[in-house]
């Protein structure tokens, strides 16, 4: 038989994901060789592209146009796992379901294989890396996976995670655009520490010192002051924190929004809740296959939400903890263990995984946070708690110039270092508020995983700077 590429040039290229629906038979496709096995004169090869896998068969015979030559058969046997291949052949229906592949009822009878790139070495076995996190056979730890992330991304669960993140960001934009928000981009190199705070990365900026932005907070406020009314940003955020590396990243993706307020900061809480509810619903609708692959790796339950936000005041939550004999300073922020306990308490009370705590003590919030009119000890602030973990923080902002300057001073910040920001409050300011969401922490809590590094493609923390 003559299996030259010239004779196979009439074969139509089909993406592996489109094979279940195609009516064509003479095709070629591309992908990584995930696995192969040979018994006597017959062999099987599993080709993988993205999340999809296809069984390919081949057999050896001396004189038969439906089989490969001895030389061709021998060459396929030599192909190393994860080599990238171009495979020509004939699609045929199978009388049985192929359980090991995503394409269940078709297989490709190979006529020709072209090795486009050979796999030279494998830091770990992808079959092992694809096994469930709780599997007794899994032997690829997260650190090894991250050091070789380009290979880890070929596993179904890892690739699915980043497809879900893509869905999250797309629908974050989609929802806000439909609510008349404008996407903006703010600088990440700034001349003073963000919000006057610590834990900033200092870098050289020509002959000056500069800092990596801890948030776009001041700039998104200035955008609203500039008359843009409703703005949002998806951008990188930098925090020089050396605390729990399973929970914090030094570089992460911030989902930020800021908006004018018509009558009450409760409008902002409602919009943010509707946004989160919308995103989670879209993930369930648009990522069914990805969610199943992730569940195969680590079992999880989808978070339970009510249609309207479940809201408790800070003082109510303090009392909930006291009822459980947990000591709380009534004017301090909740620590991580207290947040976790509140997650359990609200789950038992209301049966939900997402709820809102509002009216935190003013002294534990950022200097730009507006105090409550009736009791300035507490503020017009809010955190969203998902599965006992804070996933976003927000507030109504101070909009009066003189009040803001005094708040800056009380925070121990020199107003001169925030001159550009403060000057923007001298020209008339709409009442406004917003929030900042850590993308990786949000999706980590969505799945209930124990390590945030699963959700950063190339994570940066105090111990990780490569690849």
Q: 406, 391 in Cβ contact below 8 A?
A: no
Give the pLDDT of residue 65.
54
pTM of the predicted structure, to 2 decimals: 0.92
Please compute, for residue 150, the number of CA atoms within 13 A of its CA located in the half-sphere on the CB side.
7
Which DSSP string corresponds to 34-83?
Answer: EEEEEETTEEEEEEEETTEEEEEEEEB-SS-TTSB-HHHHHHHHTPPTT-
Is the Cβ–Cβ distance between 53 and 161 less than 8 Å?
no
| Those residues with Cβ within 8 angstroms of residue 162's Cβ, 6 or more apart along the chain or in another chain | 153, 457
Encoded tokens for 48? 């993988």
pLDDT at residue 192, rounded to an integer: 84
366 touches 195 (CB < 8 A): yes
Domains of the chain: residue spans and CATH:
12-117 (2.40.50.140), 155-455 (3.30.930.10)
Q: Which residues contact 195 (CB under 8 A, 6 or more apart)?
A: 214, 215, 217, 218, 366, 367, 368
**Structure confidence by residue, pLDDT tens digits, 327-361:** 899 899 999 999 999 999 999 999 999 999 999 99
How far is it, in rounded angstroms, from Cα 399 to Cα 382? 18
Q: Give the mean model confidence (pLDDT) for residues 204-231.
A: 96
Asked if 143 and 129 touch (Cβ cutoff 8 Å), the reply is: no
| pLDDT band, residue 1 (cuts 50/70/90) | very low
Question: Does residue 2 register a pLDDT over 50?
Answer: no
Beta-ladder partners of 272: none
The first and second tokens of residue 276, run together, are 């989160």
Mean per-residue pLDDT of the chain: 92
Cα–Cα distance list, 310 to 34, 239, 259, 283, 361 (Å): 47, 30, 22, 21, 20
Coil, strand or helix at 135: coil
C-alpha distances (whole Å) from 192 to each of 206, 222, 249 are 15, 16, 21
**Number of Cβ atoms within 10 Å of the Cβ of 81:** 15
Q: Which tens digits make up the pLDDT trace of 42-67?
A: 899 999 999 999 999 998 875 555 57
Average pLDDT over residues 131-147: 75
Which of the pair, 5 or 55, is modelled with greater confidence? Answer: 55
pLDDT at 98 over 90: yes
Task: Tell whether omega for the bond before 147 is within 30 degrees of 0, i.e. cis.
Answer: no
- Determine how β-strand 52-59 pairs with β-strand 189-190: unpaired
- Cα 390 to chain centroid distance, Å, stands at 16
Instruction: Copy the structure tokens of residue 350.
Output: 């209301």
The closest of 245, 456, 279, 459 to 384, measured between CA atoms, is 279
Q: How many CA atoms lie within 13 A of 66 on its CB side?
A: 6
Listed in order, strand segments (DSSP E) in 219-291 are: 230-238, 251-260
pLDDT one-digit tens code per residue, 416-466: 999 999 999 999 999 999 999 999 999 999 999 999 999 999 999 988 889
Q: What percent of the chain has pLDDT over 70?
A: 94
Q: Hey, which residues does 101 pair with through a beta bridge? A: none
Residue 465 burial (10 A CB sphere; 0-12, 13-18, 19+): exposed
Tally the residues of the chain.
467
Within 10 A of 55 (CB to CB), how many other CB atoms are there?
Answer: 18
Which residue is listed with tokens 């890396």? 129
Mean pLDDT of the 10-39 span: 91
pLDDT of residue 8: 65
* Structure tokens belonging to residue 333: 């922020």
Q: What is the pLDDT of residue 141?
A: 87
């Amino acid at each position: 038989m003559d299996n030259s590429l010239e004779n196979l040039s009439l074969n139509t290229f089909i993406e592996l994901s489109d094979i279940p629906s195609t009516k064509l038979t003479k095709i070629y496709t591309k992908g990584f060789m995930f696995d192969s096995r040979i018994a006597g004169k017959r062999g099987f090869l599993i080709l993988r592209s993205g999340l999809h896998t296809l069984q390919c068969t081949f057999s050896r015979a001396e004189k038969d146009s439906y089989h490969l030559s001895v030389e061709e058969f021998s060459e396929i046997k030599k192909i190393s796992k994860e080599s990238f291949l171009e495979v020509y052949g004939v699609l045929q229906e199978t009388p049985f379901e192929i359980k090991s592949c995503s394409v269940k009822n078709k297989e490709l009878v190979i006529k020709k294989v072209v090795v486009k790139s050979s796999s030279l070495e494998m830091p770990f076995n992808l079959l092992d890396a694809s096994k469930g996190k709780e599997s007794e056979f899994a032997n690829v730890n997260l650190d090894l996976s991250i050091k070789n992330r380009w290979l880890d991304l070929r596993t179904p669960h890892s690739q699915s995670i980043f497809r879900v993140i893509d869905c999250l960001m797309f629908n974050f934009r989609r929802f806000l655009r439909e609510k008349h928000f404008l996407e903006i981009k703010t600088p990440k190199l700034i001349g003073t520490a963000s919000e006057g705070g610590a834990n900033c990365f200092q870098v050289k900026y020509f002959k000056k010192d500069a800092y990596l932005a801890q948030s776009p907070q001041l700039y998104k406020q200035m955008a609203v002051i500039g008359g843009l009314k409703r703005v949002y940003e998806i951008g990188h955020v930098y925090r020089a924190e050396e605390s729990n590396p399973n929970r914090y990243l030094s570089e992460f993706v911030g989902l930020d929004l800021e908006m004018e307020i018509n009558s009450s900061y409760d409008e902002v809480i409602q919009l943010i809740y509707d946004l989160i509810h919308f995103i989670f619903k879209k993930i369930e609708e648009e990522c069914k296959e990805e969610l199943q692959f992730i569940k195969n790796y680590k079992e999880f339950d989808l978070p339970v939400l009510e249609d309207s936000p479940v809201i408790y005041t800070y003082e109510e939550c303090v009392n909930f903890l006291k009822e459980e004999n947990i000591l709380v300073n009534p004017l301090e922020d909740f620590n991580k263990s207290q947040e976790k306990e509140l997650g359990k308490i609200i789950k038992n009370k209301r049966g939900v995984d997402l709820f809102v705590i509002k009216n935190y003590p003013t002294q534990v919030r950022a200097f730009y946070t507006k105090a409550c009119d009736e009791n300035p000890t507490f503020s017009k602030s809010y955190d969203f708690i998902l599965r006992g973990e804070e996933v976003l923080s927000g507030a109504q902002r101070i909009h009066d110039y003189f009040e803001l300057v005094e708040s800056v001073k009380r925070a121990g910040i020199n107003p001169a270092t925030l001159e550009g920001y403060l000057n923007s409050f001298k020209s008339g300011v709409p009442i406004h508020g917003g929030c900042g969401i850590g993308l990786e922490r949000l999706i980590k809590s969505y799945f209930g995983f124990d390590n945030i590094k699963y959700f950063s493609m190339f994570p940066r923390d105090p111990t990780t700077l490569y690849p």
